[in-house]
Chain A
Amino acid sequence: KQEVTQIPAALSVPEGENLVLNCSFTDSAIYNLQWFRQDPGKGLTSLLLIQSSQREQTSGRLNASLDKSSGRSTLYIAASQPGDSATYLCAVNKADSVNYGGSQGNLIFGKGTKLSVKP
């Protein structure tokens, strides 16, 4: 059974600091991995999607890496800002065991890392 763990559960940093959020998963048979941001009481905003064949993806100040063999992904945030304060969730999309390479559809989420960036 796939399990996703995110460490740390909460993180507080001063503005301007670079930081790394960690995500680990127990089954390396994944189709892709997605990082999301969630503001309190709101839905999820997709930040980055990494396919199982990729090693990393970048968007602005965000960089996500994937090491499928070790079951790990990291989200790197450069020059953090107070507006980055939110909960960050990672989710894996499991591979289709019948039609390998396709996606079964449902995402399996970690519990998230609550980030606070102080001015």
Chain B
Amino acid sequence: DTGVSQDPRHKITKRGQNVTFRCDPISEHNRLYWYRQTLGQGPEFLTYFQNEAQLEKSRLLSDRFSAERPKGSFSTLEIQRTEQGDSAMYLCASSSSRILGEQYFGPGTRLTVT
């Protein structure tokens, strides 16, 4: 088990472009979460999947954001028409519903919108 992985680790894009990030959770974990972290702040929750079902979405997840977990394994987070305010670290975490909620985080994807 190699832990939670995320790809890419860094992404620089121009305003208005679309970007997609990938998260591979720990293999036996059925829950997957996306968070966003800006400089000097704690991570903020974006959305959460149990298996392939998206069960909760934050109001931070505007219409330009979409997340999927099509087969209950890896997940993608897409941002359309990026804005400079989207610049942040995007963190993915996973957990098992059998292990009382402890979440394990990946290394994050650092997005810079120029």
| Chain A residues proximal to chain B, CB less than 8 Å | 4, 31-32, 34, 36, 41-46, 49, 51, 89, 91, 93, 103-112
Query: Which B residues from 79 to 114 make CB contacts under 8 A with A?
Result: 91, 93, 95, 97, 100-108, 110
Chain A residues, Cβ within 8 Å of B93? 44, 107
Q: Are B91 and A43 in contact (CB under 8 A)?
A: yes
- CA separation between A34 and B58, bound complex, in Å? 20
Judged by DSSP, the binding face of A is: strand
> Within 8 Å of chain A (Cβ to Cβ): is B43?
yes
Number of residue pairs across A and B with beta carbons under 8 Å? Answer: 69
The chain A residue sitting closest to B48, CB to CB, is A105
Tell me if A36 and B101 are in contact (CB < 8 A): no
Asked if residues A44 and B43 are in contact (CB atoms below 8 Å), the reply is: yes
A62 CB to nearest B CB, Å? 15
Shortest CB distance A18–B (Å)? 25
Whole-angstrom distance between the Cβ of B103 and the nearest chain A Cβ? 6
Contact of B102 among A41, A49, A89, A110 (CB under 8 A): A49
Question: CA–CA, A55 to B42, complex, Å?
Answer: 24
Q: Is A44 a contact of B101 with CB atoms below 8 Å?
A: no
> Given the complex, which residues of B lie within 8 Å of A32, measured CB to CB?
100-102
> CB within 8 Å of A: which of B9-61?
31, 33, 35, 40-45, 48, 50, 55-56, 58
A98 to B: closest C-beta gap in Å: 12
With a CB–CB cut-off of 8 A, which chain A residues contact B35? 107
Expressed in whole angstroms, the Cα–Cα distance for A110 and B58 within the complex equals 17
**Bound Cα distance A109, B102 (Å):** 14
Contact partners of B42 in chain A: CB under 8 A: 4, 89, 91, 109-112
Contact across chains for A43 and B102 when beta carbons are under 8 A apart: no
Contact present for A105 and B107 (CB under 8 Å)? no
Q: Which of A45, A51, A106 contacts B105 (CB under 8 A)?
A: A45
Give Cα A89 to B91, complex, Å.
14
Does A36 contact B33, Cβ atoms closer than 8 Å?
A: no
Chain B residues near A91 (CB-CB < 8 A): 42-43
